[in-house]
Amino acid sequence: MKKIFCLFLSLAVLFTSARADEGMWLLPLIQKMNAKTMKDMGCKLTPEEIYSINNSSLKDAVVQFGGGCTGEIISAEGLLVTNHHCGYSSIQKLSSEDHNYLEDGYWAMESSEEIPVPGLTVTFLQKMTDVTGMLSKLRKESLKQYKDSTNKIELADSVVEAERKNLVEQAEKDNEGCHAEIEQFYNGNVFYLIIYKKYKDVRFVGAPPASIGKFGGETDNWMWPRHTGDFSMFRVYAGKDNEPAEYSVDNVPYKPKDHLKISLNGVNNGDFTMIMGYPGRTQRFQTASQLEEMITVHDIRIAARDLRQGIMLKFMEADPAIRLKYANKYAGSANGYKKWIGEKKAFGNLGIIDEEKGKEAAFTKWVNARKSRKEKYGQALQNISESVDNSIAAEKSLVLLDESIANIELIGLSSNFNGAFKKAVKNGQDTSAALQTAYDAIKGYYKDYYEPLDRKEASALLSFYKDNASPDCYLDLGGDFKNMDVDAYVKNMFDNSVFTSGQKLKNAISEDNEKVFKDPARDFIKAIIGIGMKLIMEETAEDDTLQQNSRIYTAGLMEWNKGKKSYPDANFTMRLTYGTVKPYSPKDAVTYRSYTTMKGIMEKEDSTNYEFKVPSKLKKLYEAKDFGQYARKDGRMPICFLTNNDITGGNSGSPVMNGNGELIGLAFDGNWESMSSDVMFEPELQRCICVDIRYVLFLIDKYGGAGYLVKEMDLVQ
């Protein structure tokens, strides 16, 4: 127990001589903090070759893909690879019943067949600059200036915020075609000015069918052993000057500053691995009270999603057309649902909250040992706990609202229409033009909408809300909410709403637009807004106090562990993590090896289960052992492998590289036994699940018949 406590203490504080396989490290600090350890583990690259602002480096081949994933450039012609589940929503939007790219897969056999993806972007990091000293100095000066004011902290923060805006504006003037952000780290104790360049013309090149790219479905999600070919391919296009441009037939493939070479040499236990990408959010600075709140809120999310997903799945299994419409909605909901279940289980198994309480007790003892520390940090933990207590009721009610009735699609359609209409009127359009503008803004949504499914969900979700809401959160729907006939209310709303189909809405706009303004869905929206705004005000009332005390608490942790290597919580900025290929043992007498092969696909095959169907062509390739140059030395076809790299959501699609910086796989998942990893890194259990790049190339070449794409890449053997 003492050993476990020490490990947790190290990673929860995040200022440690951390294990080499722990940490989401800031790229500008690799030379200072990580270079020697990485070299000793097998990295052959210098920090300058990984991150440079003056010369091409690995960071120039890694991108933010869309709004929440990572991708990497793998050719001199802007070819990009990421996970299948990262490209999933784009592929689904491009699909139709006649051209179902999700189910059937797709490969462009020439550039003219690459399909534009409206709204999809990729973003390249240009540079990161530490501006902490400048902003900290300004804050200290402002606090001194306003020392006699009762709200001196708020005044000082406003001065700093104004300067942050000035720095961003100046950076964007100095870096034409780029956008700038100032991100905070360590709960507002460190700040970096980050410059990005975003490309808006991204085209779909290819992906395997869902039976490969999503093999195992939600059953295998977060699980090992894994046999999923989780990848999809796109290409970045630019104007003829190689700069970002809106889609045009005249655009040309982007010429990257750098692209990744691809290794066919495979992996072995103990091999060095590093991953670069954009991890989303971790909570390794959360206090025990915040963690308890998080788990409590998860219970509400899990229950609501279980209800909604059950309805979706029933309709999807009954009709392939509905499966296509709701595939992305279901997958997005189910991913979080299963993660939260696993997280709660891991919290209990690993004693996460108790370990955090032990760490806080040790910190408090250190604080109380000196008067000056007690004055600076002595109240932070108590104040955070009180803020959580004051906001937890509103937080739970807000999550209940968000996960239940706010997910009724009819309500979302009506709300988005109203928002677009108001914006059009504000921009000077008359009523008729504004109605048409609003219709145009939402008409595409109906492609993936099925009214009977939404009607069924609406009854279930409204009943769920009614049964779980506190009396002060009852909806004002013109009657006794607690005893209302939910089915009758929903039937009336759906029967009389013009938003249940694009054609009904279009007819109402052209024939009798009063139907739009008097639609029953609008009354429901008003009721939700009334409760929602009240809850938001209650839930955010503690934000300033919570942020201030979190900053103070983290500053105390920094002082407590001064001089030790550190990494901040993930916040969707580019990070590097390094480790090794490594198996693990999840429980007594069970040991998992570090890789899987195609034999496992055949062992899992179940023609009666949608998630485990195997394409006949893949079976023929397996039976013929037709693996080409992509097989292991023992002749087997590799599928996935494990490393102990420290990743989280947002790292999906990240390049897994060897010591030479060559691509060996794509990160796509974590393992079930370490679902508490956003809070605690558990070195014996936490693993990153990666699809082997050799399986990716095999599927492109031997299965997809798009070998010309492989010829475009730089392969290393």
Mind giving me the DSSP string for 149-216?
STTHHHHHHHHHHHHHHHHHHHHHHHSTT-EEEEEEETTTTEEEEEEEEEE-EEEEEEE--HHHHTTT
Q: Does 585 reside within a domain?
A: yes
Does the annotation count 84 as an active-site position? no
Does the annotation count 230 as an active-site position? yes
Residues 590 and 533 in one domain: no
Q: Could you tell me what percent of the chain has a pLDDT over 70?
A: 97
In the 8-state DSSP scheme, what is residue 53? Answer: S
What would the pLDDT profile of 74-106 be if each residue is shown by its tens digit? 999 999 999 999 999 999 999 999 999 999 999
Residues 173 and 213 in one domain: no
Picking from 328, 318, 340, the residue whose alpha carbon sits closest to that of residue 456 is: 318
pLDDT at site 210: 97
Q: Does 555 reside within a domain?
A: no
Beta-sheet pairing, 232-238 with 122-130: unpaired
Does the annotation count 227 as an active-site position? no
- In single-letter form, the type of residue at position 639 comes to I
Residues 111 and 148 in one domain: no
State mean pLDDT over 265-275: 97
Active-site pick, 397, 652, 674, 676: 652
Question: In sequence order, what are the residues at sequence separation of 6 or more whose Cβ sits closer than 8 angstroms to the Cβ of residue 82?
Answer: 65, 69, 70, 71, 72, 231, 232, 233, 234, 652, 653, 666
Report residue 512's pLDDT band, with 50, 70 and 90 as the boundaries: confident
Task: Point out which residues pair with 566 in neighbouring strands.
Answer: 15
Q: Given a cut of 50, is residue 14 above it in pLDDT?
A: no
pLDDT at site 564: 83
Residues 320 and 392 in one domain: yes
State mean pLDDT over 215-244: 98
Domain boundary among 166, 199, 232: 199
What would the pLDDT profile of 155-165 be if each residue is shown by its tens digit? 998 999 999 99
What does the alpha-carbon distance between residue 181 and residue 195 come to, in Å, rounded to a whole number? 7
Residues 87 and 146 in one domain: no
Active-site pick, 84, 85, 259, 298: 85
Q: What is the mean pLDDT of the chain?
A: 94
Q: Given a cut of 80, is residue 437 above it in pLDDT?
A: yes
Domain boundary among 181, 199, 217: 199
Report residue 152's pLDDT band, with 50, 70 and 90 as the boundaries: confident
What does the alpha-carbon distance between residue 512 and residue 81 come to, in Å, rounded to a whole number? 49
pLDDT at site 18: 43
Q: Does 497 reside within a domain?
A: yes
Residues 178 and 134 in one domain: yes
Q: Does 588 reside within a domain?
A: yes
pLDDT at site 513: 84
Picking from 58, 74, 114, 232, the residue whose alpha carbon sits closest to that of residue 713 is: 74
What does the alpha-carbon distance between residue 180 and residue 108 come to, in Å, rounded to a whole number? 35
What does the alpha-carbon distance between residue 456 and residue 307 come to, in Å, rounded to a whole number? 11
Orientation of helix 320-350 relative to helix 288-318, angle to 10°: 150
Active-site pick, 220, 230, 678, 692: 230
Residues 76 and 156 in one domain: no
Q: Which domain holds residue 102?
A: 2-121+206-279+569-716
- Domain with residue 603: its CATH number is 2.40.10.120
